[in-house]
Amino acid sequence: MRRPIPESEARRLLGGGPVTLVTTSWHGKSNVMPAAYVTPLSFEPPLIGVAISPTRHSYDMIRYSEQFALNIPGRRLLHHVQYLGSVSGSDVDKFELTKLPTFKAQRVDAPLIEGCIAYIECGLADTLRTGDHVLFVGQVMAASANAEAFDETWLLEDDDEKPLHYLGVNRYALLGEIIEARMPKPEETEKSLEEAFEEEQALAKEEEEKRREMEQKRAREGPQAEE
Ligand SMILES: Cc1cc2nc3c(=O)[nH]c(=O)nc-3n(C[C@H](O)[C@H](O)[C@H](O)COP(=O)(O)O)c2cc1C
């Protein structure tokens, strides 16, 4: 059975993108916030978008510094991710509070978080207002990933080396295993179309039989109900 989803919750159906920890630095102060609204935007130049609400401290940090880094955490940082999304850098120094160790990035001032499985350093290329968020378009200036985690694509061999996916609320997931697609052979597509059609016909026949049975039952019980 399918149930309707409120318009405001439809975004959750697209939940599952890899979570990032956005690090920023401005005037000697650094900050970090989790962001799940992250997407590739262009091959050449390599552009990546991250949608951030103007209510976040990180929004100002990116606007002023015109740089940011995306740190991709694995499950070892699960609880830190949730916590870092519950406090604001405008109230607390999250690096001081969590004692998360960091190291210097190659091309941006924002620190990189040790223990993450991949990193992308970006210079701010553009901004676009999208409803109550702003899409920061970052041009990739450097990127790196753990060799056990990524080789052309995510490898998904070791659960500790898989990116975290955010489903919403406090729920996260890890991807299972890689399944490789191949082009179906012509007879396979024909067969599956045929099968689908046959299934549909069988279902329609079943429905029709049920309907007829109900009608017959009603016809039989009708006079009894009047007695
Ligand atoms: C897993 C997760 C993903 C989040 N994704 C986003 C996001 O994509 N954009 C956004 O504006 N806020 C997002 N948030 C909320 C911010 O991380 C949160 O408001 C944070 O406290 C802001 O920190 P700041 O004020 O120090 O920048 C997310 C929170 C969590 C826990």
CA distance 152 to 56: 33
pLDDT (tens digit per residue) in 30-43? 999 999 999 999 99
CA of 57 to the centre of ligand 1 (A): 10
In terms of Cβ atoms closer than 10 Å to its own Cβ (0-12, 13-18, 19+), residue 220 is exposed
Same domain, 168 and 191: no
In terms of Cβ atoms closer than 10 Å to its own Cβ (0-12, 13-18, 19+), residue 113 is buried
CA of 223 to the centre of ligand 1 (A): 66
Same domain, 27 and 135: yes
pLDDT (tens digit per residue) in 20-73? 999 999 999 999 999 999 999 999 999 999 999 999 999 999 999 999 999 999
Q: Does residue 2 fall inside a structural domain? A: no
Of 173, 195, 212, the residue that ends a domain is 173
Contact between 69 and 121 (Cβ < 8 Å): yes
Q: Does residue 109 fall inside a structural domain? A: yes
Of 138, 129, 111, 125, which is closest to residue 54 (Cα–Cα)?
129
Local confidence pLDDT in tens for the 227 residues of the chain? 998 888 988 888 888 789 999 999 999 999 999 999 999 999 999 999 999 999 999 999 999 999 999 999 999 999 999 999 999 999 999 999 999 999 999 999 999 999 999 999 999 999 999 999 999 999 999 999 999 999 999 999 999 999 999 999 999 999 999 999 988 877 777 777 778 778 778 888 888 898 889 888 888 886 544 33
Q: Does residue 1 fall inside a structural domain? A: no
Nearest-CA residue for atom 30 of ligand 1: 85
Q: Does residue 178 fall inside a structural domain? A: no
Whether residue 85 has its Cβ less than 6 Å from ligand 1: yes
CA of 179 to the centre of ligand 1 (A): 31
Structural domains counted in the chain? 2
Whether residue 89 has its Cβ less than 6 Å from ligand 1: yes
Q: Does residue 90 fall inside a structural domain? A: yes
Nearest-CA residue for atom 5 of ligand 1: 35
- Estimate to the nearest angstrom the gap between the alpha carbon of 185 and the chain centroid: 32
Of 23, 49, 46, which is closest to residue 38 (Cα–Cα)?
49
* Domain span including residue 12: 7-173
Contact between 50 and 33 (Cβ < 8 Å): no
- The CATH number assigned to the domain holding 168 equals 2.30.110.10
Whether residue 34 has its Cβ less than 6 Å from ligand 1: yes
Of 150, 173, 196, the residue that ends a domain is 173
Whole-Å CA distances, 166 to 73, 80, 85, 101, 141: 11, 13, 12, 23, 26
